[in-house]
Structures are given as structure tokens and as C-alpha cells.
Amino acid sequence: MDKSKPLIVIVDDDESVCRAIRRLVRSVAMDGETFSSGQDFLDLLDAMPSFQPDCLILDVQMPDMNGLAVQELLAKSGKTVPVIFITAHDEVGVREKALAAGAVAFIRKPFNDELLIKTMREALKHNPTAQP
């Protein structure tokens, strides 16, 4: 990992979404790492304390553990990382809950690349260790 580049972690159970966002992230000189489940991401964080993303893009709706649960577990463990939620299902109350829990943004799929890039750059400003 090149620590001079911000590390953006994408957690989405849709592999095509992960691939597309990782390509986008790399096209703007950032590193992208993908996970197909919140549990896989949390397991790696536990196993490798040195793995510290600068920003997290989290899908809301995933099997087993949804994005809100991942955000909650991160907060309980004391890990602070700016979170951008993405969702195809903009359910009432979910946006408010995510933002109240500290999410930087909540974006509805499909979204355009410029919006996500702008939001990632904004999120990196919330992370004192990241270099946008």
C-alpha cells in the first residue's frame, strides 16, 4: 500500500459495484480496497491493526450485516473513519440514522462519478491523517 495515497475501502455485496468504485478511486490517484461483506472488512481490521482506511464507502443493504451495523461496530471499537453510505433503497429513517451516527454522506444509487469523487474528497477532510 502506498501511504502517500488515501486508502478508500469499499464494502458492497455487489461485486460489479465494488469493481466500478475501485476503478473510479484509482482514476483519481487514491488506493481502493474492496470487501464483499461488512464481516470480512471487520475481520481484516481485527487481524491487521495497521490496516487503516482513510475513508469507508459502505452499502446499506447487505446480507448478514448491514452497513449501519458495520458503522456501529466501528464506533464501539473506537475506530474513527469517515463513512459514505451508498444505497439502492432509500428507506425512511435510514439516512437520518446513518447521518446521526456520524456518516459524512448518504448517496442513492445510481450516482454519478463526479458526485462520489467530490464526496470522497470532502470525507477525507474529516480524517486528519488523510492527504486528499
Cα–Cα distance, 9 to 35 (Å, whole number): 8
Position 115 pLDDT exceeds 70? yes
Is it the case that residue 103 has pLDDT exceeding 80?
yes
Is residue 85 a contact partner of residue 58, using CB atoms and an 8 Å limit?
Answer: yes
Q: Per-residue pLDDT tens for 61-72?
A: 999 999 999 999
Nearest to 85 by CA among 19, 21, 5, 4: 21
Position 79 confidence tier, pLDDT thresholds 50, 70, 90:
confident
Q: What is the pLDDT of residue 61?
A: 94
In SS3 terms, the chain reads as: CCCCCCEEEEECCCHHHHHHHHHHHHHCCCEEEEECCHHHHHHHHHHCCCCCCCEEEEECCCCCCCHHHHHHHHHHCCCCCCEEEEECCCCCCHHHHHHHCCCCEEEECCCCHHHHHHHHHHHHHCCCCCCC
